[in-house]
Chains A and B, each alone.
Chain A
Amino acid sequence: SQKIEQNSEALNIQEGKTATLTCNYTNYSPAYLQWYRQDPGRGPVFLLLIRENEKEKRKERLKVTFDTTLKQSLFHITASQPADSATYLCALVATGGFKTIFGAGTRLFVKA
């Protein structure tokens, strides 16, 4: 069956360190993959999109990698800050598809 898996355990890191979140998928052929941030009681906010033929994308302190062989995307936040504490969602749109399918998200806590 098709699955998008994110680490369900919360990630706790110290301010200033790099946070790395993982998204694995099975039985999908993604056309592109997206990362969103969601704060409690709020809708997701788009962060980055990476296409199937791209290996890496950067935006300010954020970096996303995409390995279609491993069927995995990594999301990095460098020089993390307490304000980065949130849930981060991985989402993908399959090739030839139309719908965006979400993982359950990983909760990130950045301690000052």
Chain B
Amino acid sequence: GAVVSQHPSWVICKSGTSVKIECRSLDFQATTMFWYRQFPKQSLMLMATSNEGSKATYEQGVEKDKFLINHASLTLSTLTVTSAHPEDSSFYICSARAGERGGLYEQYFGPGTRLTVT
């Protein structure tokens, strides 16, 4: 099956610093990648959608200047949390779509990145 990797799997950073999270589709080309965040015992909340080579589309309430997304290639998307604060501590998960097959979009998830801001 399709594999999506994320790096790092966990990171601890100090308040005010920036953190970059990488998401890669290992054995397929991802036309679209999604970034989610998840708080304990809560649903996955979509933050933004990105297509290769174009600007990301952010969900309402998500600060695009704080959460910078770059979808540089069909296999790589990065999320940079700028000037991180403790309230940004969360579980960040990326997802990649392989494109339409028979009218359906198959979507695969990375293992997630646990961010802790101290």
Which A residues contact B (CB, under 8 angstroms)?
32, 34, 36, 41-46, 49, 51, 89, 93, 98-105
Interface residues of B in 48-96 (CB under 8 A from A): 49, 91, 93, 95
List residues of chain A with CB within 8 A of the CB of B42: 104
List residues of chain B with CB within 8 A of the CB of A103: 43
Taking A41-B91, A43-B93, A99-B34 as known contacts, 10 extra A-B pairs with beta carbons closer than 8 A to each other, sorted by chain A number, are A43-B6, A43-B109, A45-B109, A46-B108, A98-B49, A99-B49, A100-B34, A104-B41, A104-B43, A105-B43
Chain B interface residue bracket vs A = 20 to 34
Q: How far is the CA of A51 from the CA of B102 in the complex (A)?
A: 12
Say yes or no: A43 contacts B34, CB within 8 Å.
no
Q: How far is the CA of A42 from the CA of B93 in the complex (A)?
A: 9
Min CB distance A85 to B, Å, is: 15
Which B residues contact A (CB, under 8 angstroms)?
4, 6, 34, 41-44, 46, 49, 91, 93, 95, 104-112, 114
Q: A89-B44, A103-B43, A105-B43 are in contact. Are A42 and B111 (CB under 8 A)?
A: yes
Q: How far is the CA of A103 from the CA of B6 in the complex (A)?
A: 23
Contact of A102 among B43, B91, B105, B114 (CB under 8 A): B43
